[in-house]
Structure 1
Amino acid sequence: MDLRQLEIFVCVAERLNFTESAKYLYLTQSAVSLQIADLEKQLGVKLFARNTHSVQLTAAGRVFLQEAKFIIAAMEEALMKTRHTASGFEGTLKVGFLESHTKHFLPKLVKDFRHSYPRIKILLAQLNWGDLNMALEHGDVDIGLTMSVSLQNTPRVVWQPLYQDVECFVMSDDHPLANQSHLDFADLTREPFIVLNRQVAPCPYDFTFQLCANRGFTPKVVERPYLTEILLTLVECGEGIAILPYFTTKPYASPSLRFFKLEGEDACVEMVASWKRTNRNRSIPLFLNKAKKAVQFFQSTMELPDVPECKKTKDGDPV
C-alpha cells in the first residue's frame, strides 16, 4: 500500500464513479480498477459495493475513507514541515474568526500550530461577519474562519471547507412547538423570529430570509442582536425562535434549546477557512492542514442526531 493508492481510493470514494475518477487522475479506468482491487486485497475487505448501475462505499469503505484522508494530510504536512524547517522558515500569520462559531475547534488548532511551527507568529482577531469579509479582501487578515454563506459575494476570496453543517430552527424546550414530532411551516409563519443584526451579519441575515422564502413565508422579526450568544439567550428566554447551523451552534448552546433540522439542499452550509486569492503567505497551506486535522475529531464524535424535521408538501409548499 502506498500514498498513490490512497489518493486513487479517495478520488473514487468522493466521486463514486470509476470513469470520472480515471479522467481526473489521468489514468485508464482499468488502471484505477486494478489499484482498488489490489488495495481491497491488501486490506482483506471490500471497500466498494459495485453493480452495473451504481458504486457505493461499504461500511468498511466509509471508515477507511476518513483514515486515508488523515494519512494523506499527515504526509503532506510532514513534507512541508521538513522543507520549511530545512530552509529556516518563519513568518507571521493573521487569523480572523467569528465571535463564537469557532470556539469548539480554534483553541486546539492554534495550540497545535504553534507547537509545530514555533517560528511562525500567529495573530488572532475576533471580527463580526461583515468586518471579517472586509479584512480578507483588504489583506488585513491572511485566513478567515467563517461560514460559506458569508462569502457568496466576495469573488476575490477563496475557501476550503472544514466541515458540513445544516441549518435548524432553534427554540426553547418549553416552547409550545418544542415537543412536536415535526414542525409544519404553517405554524412558523405566526412565530416571532430573532436574527443577527444585518449591520454586522448581512449575509446570514439575508440567508435567513431566503430560507424562509424558499419555504413559503416571511419571518416576523422581533429582535436583531449583534452577537450570536445574545441571540441564543433571547431564544432561551422565549422571545422568539431562530435559524442557526447545528454543528457550529450546538457545542456552546444551552441544553434547554431544541433544534429542528431543515430539509433541502439550501439548508446545507459549511464552516470554511478562507483567504484572498492573491495572498502568497507561505503559512496558509500549513494552517489549512492543521485546520483539517483539528476538525477531524470534532467531525467523528459529533454526528447530526435524529433531530425532528420541518415538513413540507411534495411540491415545496408549506403543509
Structure 2
Amino acid sequence: MDIRQLEIFVCVAERLNFTEAAKHLYLTQSAVSLQIADLEKQLDVKLFARNSHSVQLTAAGQVFVKEAKFIITTSEEAIKRTRYTASGFGGTLRVGFLESHTKHFLPKLVKDFRHSYPKIKLLLTQLSWGDLNLALERGDLDIGLTMSVSLQNIPKVAWQTLYQDVECFVMPYDHPLANQPQLDLTAVAREPFVVLNREVAPCPYDFTLRLCVNRGFTPNFVERPFLTEILLTLVESGEGIAILPYFTTKPYASPSLRFIKLEGDDAQVEMVASWKRTNRNPAIPLFLNKARGAIQFFQNSMGLPPSNDSNEHLSSI
C-alpha cells in the first residue's frame, strides 16, 4: 500500500465512477481497477460494491475513505515540513547571546527573523562567555552572538563579523580625567579598575589585563562584578574606571559615564555571529542575513562604519 494507491481509492470513492476517476487521474480504467483490486487484496476487505449500473462504498469502504484522507493529509504535511526544514523555512534554530552585548540590536533581529520565517522555532538563551563557548563546541547552540576575542582558541568554530568595535576607558563624568580627549598611560596606571569576574567572563578579564600590560602597567582590579550592568553602576559610583567596547556598551550606559577611546590595533574588537563548522542547520544563513539587516540599522543610528560582510573566519583546528 502506498500514497498513490490511497489517492486513487479516494478519487474513485468521491466520484463513485471508475471511468470518471480514471479521466481525472490521467490513467486507464483498467489501471484504476487493478490498483483498487490490489488495495482490497492487501486489506482483505471489499471497498466497493459494484454491479453493471452503480458503484457504492461498502461499510468498510466508508470507514477506510476517512482514514485514507487522513493518511494523505498527514503525509503531505510531513513532506511540507521536511522540505521547509531542508530549505531553512522550518525546524528549530537555537541562538545563544551574551547578557549585555547584544541588547542594542537583538530585539530588532529577533522580530525581523520571526516575521520572515514564522515556521522556524527560534530558541533564545542568554549565557555567560564561558557557557556560550562550551555550548557552541558541544553543538547545543546553532549560533552564538559574542565577541571574536572569546573564540580565538576554540577549534572548528566559524564566525562572521557583525561590526567592528573599539575599547574605551570608561569613567564617571566628574572624574578628574573625564574631559581629557585622550589619556596618557601614566595617567591611568594608578587608577582602580572594575572588571567582570573571571569566573563568568574570562575573556574580558584577560583582554583588559592584556591591554593594560601592553601599555606598560598592571591594572589594580578593585571590583569584579558578575554583570556588565553592575560594572557600569560601580564605575558611575566612583569605585573605579573600566575598559569596555564603545558601540557595544554606550547605547545603554548612563549619560553620566564618559568614554575615552583607546588607541592601537589591540584595542579593536569585533561583535560576531559564530557557529560550529560542521553544523548544517539551513536556518543559519537565513539568520545571518537578517543579522546583517539589523546591524545595518544599528550602524546607521550610531554612526558606525559599514562592516565587511565577507569578513568570515575559521579558527585553526
Q: Same fold (TM over 0.5)?
A: yes
Aligned counterparts of 1:183 and 1:158: Cα–Cα separation in 2: 36
Identity %: 81
Q: Describe the superposition over 1:9-28 as per-residue Cα deviations: whole angstroms up to 9, x where unpaired.
A: xxxxxxxxxxxxxxxxxxxx
Structure 1: state its 5+ residue gaps.
1-82, 306-319
The one-letter amino acid paired with 2:224 is: R
> Aligned partners of 1:171, 1:88: CA distance in 2, in Å?
45
Describe the SS at the equivalent of 1:255: coil
* Counterpart residue number, 1:204: 204
Aligned length: 223
Alignment of 1:102 onto 2:109:
no
Alignment of 1:146-161 (within 5 A): 146-161=146-161
Q: Report the CA distance shift for 1:239/1:88 in structure 2 as closer, same or farther (over 3 A).
A: closer
**Counterpart code for 2:94:** K
From the superposition, tell whether residues 144 and 86 of structure 1 become closer, same or farther in structure 2 (CA, over 3 Å).
Answer: closer
Deviation at 1:187, TM superposition (A): 1.2
1:57-136 superposed matches below 5 A: 89-136=89-136
2:274 is aligned to 274
**Closer, same or farther in 2 for the Cα pair 1:304/1:180, shift >3 Å?**
farther
What is the distance in 2 between the residues matched to 1:110 and 1:275? 17
C-alpha change, 1:122 and 1:191, in structure 2 (3 Å) is same
1:301 Cα shift? 2.2
Aligned partner of residue 182 in structure 1, secondary structure: coil
Runs (5+) with no aligned partner, structure 2: 1-82, 306-317
1:181 is displaced (CA, Å) by: 3.3
Q: In the alignment, which residue of structure 1 is the partner of 2:163?
A: 163
TM-score (norm 1): 0.68
Alpha-carbon deviation of 1:252?
A: 0.3
Q: Distance in 2 between matches of 1:87 and 1:141?
A: 19
| Matching of residues 149-298 of structure 1 within 5 Å | 149-298=149-298
Displacement of 1:233 in angstroms is 0.3
Q: Which amino acid aligns with 1:291?
A: A
**What is the deviation of 1:179?**
1.8
Shift of 1:204: 1.2
Please give the per-residue CA displacement for 1:217-252, whole angstroms capped at 9, x wherever unaligned.
110000001000000000000000000000000000
CA apart distance, 1:86: 10
Distance across 2 between alignment mates of 1:132 and 1:242: 23
Q: Give how far 1:180 is off.
A: 2.2
Q: Is the 8 A contact 2:88 2:283 kept in 1?
A: no
Separation of aligned partners in 1, 2:178 and 2:86:
58
- Residue 89 of structure 1 and its aligned partner are, at CA, apart by 3.7
The 2-side partners of 1:88 and 1:210 are apart by 41
Cα RMSD after superposing both structures: 1.8
Q: In 1, distance between residues paired with 2:295 and 2:188?
A: 33
| 1:68 paired residue number | none
**Structure 1 residues 256 and 282: CA distance shift in structure 2, 3 A:** same
Contact 2:162-2:295 within 8 A present in 1 as well: yes
- The more displaced of 179-188 and 195-204 is 179-188
Counterpart CA distance in 1 for 2:298 and 2:89 is 30
* CA separation of 1:115 and 1:242: change in aligned 2, threshold 3 A: same
Asked if the contact 2:192/2:240 (under 8 Å) is kept, the reply is yes
- 1:304 Cα shift? 6.1
* Residues 132-178 of structure 1: per-residue CA shift (max 9 Å, x gap): 00011011111000011111111221100000100000000011111
Task: Name the amino acid aligned to 1:268.
Answer: Q
Q: Is the 8 A contact 2:86 2:282 kept in 1?
A: no
